[in-house]
Chains A and B, each alone.
Chain A
Amino acid sequence: MRLRGHSRLLGVLLLLMAGSAIAQELPDDLTQLDLEQLLELELIPIDVLGSHIHLRGQWMVGYRFMHMAMEGGHVHEADYPVRPEHMRMAMHMVEVMYGLTDRLTLMAMLGYQQAAMESRTVQGTRFETSASGPNDLQLAVHYALHPGATHYLVGLLGVQVPLGRVDVRDDTPMGTGQPLPYPMRPGSGTWDLVLGLTSIHRLGDWNLGVHGDALWRTGTNRYGYRLGHRVHAGAWVTYRVRAWMAWTLHVDAHVLGDVQGHDARLNPAMTPTADPALQGERHLTIQPALNFYVPGGPLKGMRWSVYLDRPLLEAHEGAAMETSWQLTLALQWTR
């Protein structure tokens, strides 16, 4: 049923793209174009393969929707009086990038998170808690360390501003308005630093990329803890099948440290999601994706990506819940 729903969505997207499926390849002889057409030609085409840097004066607005369903955990249910069973999380992320120079791009990214968790007590009582709110705001600069024609290296330096709420509450069998555990909180409560490096090699219809970044948490928040540092590495291969369509294969890995300190309002012996020593994880996925591009018309410059909903492979360690499926829709518009 779920699969059929997603297939329908994919079908609609393909139909939308088919309307714009006019390959915008350069003719062999550009003298056939008139002056007005020549003036409109992009020197470095913005296409389905995308770009991580933006030229001076160029804007990119992106929106990403992510829906995740997570199950269970690795902890014996007998060890805790309350055991998380299912968690659903929806994230809406808006990203704006602006090319200040041909090498330096400014970026701001803000997400909005909606999370719901179903838990069961050792007596068998099931209950659901939910929380929503904006995540921390990420402000960053991307700098093209090597802006080559077919290979470029981009550095990332940023800061995460603690806009997201840390104090989220809901009713539980333990009482009304109880503080919710760490995975339900949209914010970190700390100022965090982000450092990253992306290498992209473009060869004709192929795009090969590697990315690594680290999120360094600073200090502790007002509840006496900080989330774990995170290291993320990813690699991808994209192949342009048509001017308007490409497939991608992503390999992503991240290591997240445990929570340091603890929120004194949570009882770590009650549920694994409240235990600071069980919040770390190692995660590895291989995910296929389809990318679409609008090469002409009023929506020219728009890119869509659909990340297929089930990771082909997922390695997961730690007490956190396992992703059972995930759907990501990403939309980018460059002008």
Chain B
Amino acid sequence: MDALKYRLLLGLLLLLTGGAGFAGTGTDQSVPVEKVRVARIKAAFLYHFAQFSAWPEEALGDAAMPIRLCILGKDPFGSALEQLQGKTVHNRPLEIRHLPVGASARGCHLVFMGPMPKQVLQTSLKQLQNQPVLTVGEGEDFLKQGGIVRLVEEKNRVRFEINVTAARRAGLQLSARLLRLARIYEEAG
């Protein structure tokens, strides 16, 4: 093996090395394909949560009224919510609304609570306590704070936990199938 060929190959290796290092900078922002995938899976869960929940008649209004899915605070779904556009739940159109942090979510049927300070979350959950609103979040203490459904990333999959006490308090009826697949949380006392 002559020295020139060896150097040429070493140059190629360095070029690839440099290329990979360069390619590795800042690409998370441009093509976060895995993040989009995770968001799409979670958005599909929201749709199913609405399908397997029953609200009191008075919370739904007349037959033409939509089921409102609200994203409270920072929206972690982005374009993943597009797959819910034009869908119906319980023969009613599904309507998606975005609400700023701290806004009232009354009038929503299902609220996903995005990342927000603990105090703000607590206040929002308190406002919705005893209201027929299915609250969904991801924080570790979400159920302890009175939230109803918590999405959990575990072993590379999405799992969900349900606070049955809070669901009962809200007057929501969750299907047996949903409860069978969930991890059940009951408030003490």
Q: How far is the CA of A314 from the CA of B5 in the complex (A)?
A: 10
Interface string of A22-65 (1 = CB under 8 A from B): 00001011110111101111111110000000011110000000
Q: How far is the CA of A199 from the CA of B17 in the complex (A)?
A: 9
Chain B residues contacting A199 (CB-CB under 8 Å) are 20-21, 24
Tell me the residues in window 218-251 of chain A with beta carbons closer than 8 Å to chain B beta carbons: 233-235, 237, 251
Chain A residues contacting B38 (CB-CB under 8 Å) are 43-44
Q: How far is the CA of A65 from the CA of B157 in the complex (A)?
A: 32
Contact size range, B: 35 or more
Interface size on A, residues (CB 8 A): 50
- B157 x A203 contact (CB < 8 A): no
Chain A residues contacting B17 (CB-CB under 8 Å) are 210, 233, 235
Asked if A296 is an interface residue, CB under 8 A from chain B, the answer is: no
Chain B residues contacting A251 (CB-CB under 8 Å) are 9, 12-13, 16
- B155 x A201 contact (CB < 8 A): no
Of A128-136, A144-152, A161-169, A187-195, the stretch lying at the interface with chain B is: A144-152
Give min CB distance, B134 to chain A, whole Å: 15
- B32 x A31 contact (CB < 8 A): no
Identify B27's interface contact among A31, A43, A203, A317, CB under 8 A: A203
Asked if A308 is an interface residue, CB under 8 A from chain B, the answer is: no
With A26-B37, A199-B20 known as contacts, the answer to whether A31 contacts B181 (CB < 8 A) is: no
**B→A interface (CB under 8 Å):** 1, 5-6, 9-10, 12-13, 16-17, 19-21, 23-25, 27-28, 31-35, 37-38, 40-41, 43-45, 47-48, 52, 83-84, 87, 153, 155-159, 177-178, 181
Cβ contacts A to B, 21 pairs, < 8 Å? A28-B83, A30-B41, A31-B87, A34-B48, A35-B45, A35-B48, A39-B158, A39-B159, A40-B157, A43-B38, A43-B41, A43-B158, A55-B156, A149-B28, A149-B33, A199-B24, A203-B31, A251-B16, A313-B5, A313-B9, A315-B9
The 6 closest A-B pairs by CB, nearest first: A30-B44, A235-B16, A315-B1, A151-B24, A210-B20, A149-B32
**A→B interface (CB under 8 Å):** 26, 28-31, 33-36, 38-46, 55-58, 148-151, 153, 199-204, 208-210, 233-235, 237, 251, 253, 282, 284, 286, 313-317
